[in-house]
């Protein structure tokens, strides 16, 4: 008896024939979009190289989740406030604020999370300031490796366990706009770092709880962001490899800011270009030049997509480059829908018509 198993999404298929087991598994997975997979989790951490679209992807995913009725909370870490600003809210730390009926945003800093934790338990803010923000403890809290990251993950852990008066979870889905690649990896490893440092005691035990939650693929997913350019692409691939056993958390990738291929109606560009070259009008020659550059660029993107799907065997959603105001909610909703379209395994797209001479 052969068993094929996959964590993204969770599936076990049992068959006497190993090839048939694998095929059945692929068919099962292909029925689910990346969005289906992400919406089955409780926490999605979005990470990638700086500037690749983490915040944009969080917003798009948040809108898509809320539109499907999930009580969704977007969490920004380390004091970042761009998500809140994207939805027209002024910066404010540690206040859950409504964007839409099912969509909220929260900005965290490690200091605010400690204060919140301590004040909830001892109920005296002045005592917190006396004990934790004095000249000895303040710098200590900031200098322990991984502690600020762990404290913020701990807050997300607490949020996941919050329930309302009916016993229903307050947050169906928490989307974390995590720090960029290297720091993102450190944040994800922070519970283990603290466990190694403490070996036993309450901090060790709490770190373990957080570690167990954030390494459970049934609960937590990682969504990687990248751009169709060499540097961010290689960084995404390196990040995936550096994740080691945590690779099972990676639900998929978003290839962002992809220029759309023109002439999808089937225009045979090489033939058209040949006719246009024969015309002497400089304006037509200039248009020809820019069109050719655009097409070259889209060919490079095809290669980027190919290497990403070769190196990271996960669903890849393609977010188009938005030319006009990418901040308007309609554009973000359009991007969110892209998470719902791509199936897995990624289909090797046929070469665009214009590439065939």
Ligand X SMILES: Nc1ncnc2c1ncn2[C@@H]1O[C@H](COP(=O)(O)OP(=O)(O)OP(=O)(O)O)[C@@H](O)[C@H]1O
Shortest distance (Å) from residue 53 CB to Mg ion:
8
Q: Which is nearer to ligand X, 269 or 326 (CB)?
A: 326
Partner whose footprint covers residue 326, from ligand X, Mg ion, none (CB < 5 to 8 Å by kind)? ligand X
Using CB under 5 A as the binding rule, whether residue 256 contacts Mg ion is answered as no
Q: Which is nearer to ligand X, 165 or 330 (CB)?
A: 330
Q: Using CB under 6 A as the criterion, which residues of the chain lie in contact with ligand X when the complex forms?
A: 50-56, 82, 180, 256-257, 319, 321-322, 326
Q: Which is nearer to ligand X, 55 or 107 (CB)?
A: 55
Partner whose footprint covers residue 42, from ligand X, Mg ion, none (CB < 5 to 8 Å by kind)? none
Q: Which is nearer to ligand X, 207 or 331 (CB)?
A: 331
Shortest distance (Å) from residue 179 CB to ligand X:
8
Shortest distance (Å) from residue 130 CB to Mg ion:
35
Q: Which is nearer to Mg ion, 181 or 193 (CB)?
A: 181
Fill in the per-residue mask, 49 to 68: x = in contact with Mg ion (CB under 5 A), - = not in contact. -----xx-------------
Query: SS in 3 state form for the chain?
Result: CEEEEECCCCEEEEECCHHHHHHHHHHHHHCCCHHHHHHCCCEEEEEECCCCCHHHHHHHHHHHHHHCCCCEEEEECCCCCHHHHHCCCCCCECCCEEEECCEEEEECCHHHHHHHHHHHHHCCHHHHHHHHCCCCHHHHHHHCCCHHHHHHHHHHHHHHHCECCCCCECCCEEEEECCCHHHHHHHHHHHHHHHHHHCCCHHHHHHHHHHHHHCCCCCEEEEEEECCCHHHHHHHHHHHHHCHHHHHHEEEEEEEEECCCCCCCCCCHHHHHHHHHCCCCHHHHHHHHHHHHHHHHHHHHHHHHHHHHHHCCCCEEEEECCCCCCCCHHHHHHHHHHCCCCCCCCCCCCCCHHHCC
Residues forming the site for Mg ion (CB under 5 A): 54-55
């Amino acid at each position: 008896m052969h068993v094929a198993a996959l964590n993204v999404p969770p599936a076990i298929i049992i068959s006497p024939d190993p090839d048939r087991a694998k095929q059945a598994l692929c068919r099962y997975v292909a029925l689910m979009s990346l969005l289906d997979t992400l919406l089955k989790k409780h926490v999605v951490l979005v990470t990638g190289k700086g500037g690749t679209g983490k915040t944009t992807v969080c917003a798009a995913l948040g809108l898509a989740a809320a539109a499907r009725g999930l009580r969704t909370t977007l969490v920004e870490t380390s004091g970042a406030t761009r998500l809140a600003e994207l939805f027209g809210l002024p910066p404010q730390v540690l206040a859950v604020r409504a964007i839409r009926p099912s969509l909220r945003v929260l900005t965290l800093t490690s200091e605010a999370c400690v204060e919140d934790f301590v004040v909830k338990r001892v109920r005296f803010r002045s005592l917190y300031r006396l004990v934790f923000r004095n000249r000895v403890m303040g710098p200590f809290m900031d200098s322990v490796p991984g502690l600020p990251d762990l404290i913020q993950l701990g807050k997300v852990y607490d949020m996941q366990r919050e329930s309302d008066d009916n016993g229903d979870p307050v947050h169906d889905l928490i989307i974390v706009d995590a720090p960029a690649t290297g720091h993102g990896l450190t944040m994800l490893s922070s519970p283990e770092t603290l466990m190694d440092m403490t070996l036993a005691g309450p901090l060790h035990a709490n770190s373990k709880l957080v570690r167990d939650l954030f390494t459970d693929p049934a609960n937590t997913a990682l969504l990687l962001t990248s751009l169709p350019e060499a540097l961010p692409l290689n960084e995404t691939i390196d990040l995936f490899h550096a994740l080691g056993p945590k690779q099972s958390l990676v639900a998929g990738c978003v290839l962002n800011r992809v220029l759309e291929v023109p002439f999808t109606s089937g225009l045979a560009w090489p033939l058209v270009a040949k006719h246009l070259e024969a015309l002497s009008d400089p304006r037509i020659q200039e248009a020809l030049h820019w069109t050719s550059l655009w097409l070259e660029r889209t060919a490079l993107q095809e290669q980027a997509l190919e290497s990403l799907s070769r190196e990271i065997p996960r669903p890849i959603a393609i977010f188009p480059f938005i030319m006009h105001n990418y901040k308007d909610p309609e554009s973000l909703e359009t991007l969110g829908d892209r998470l719902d379209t791509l199936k897995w395994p990624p289909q090797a797209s046929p070469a665009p018509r214009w590439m065939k001479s």
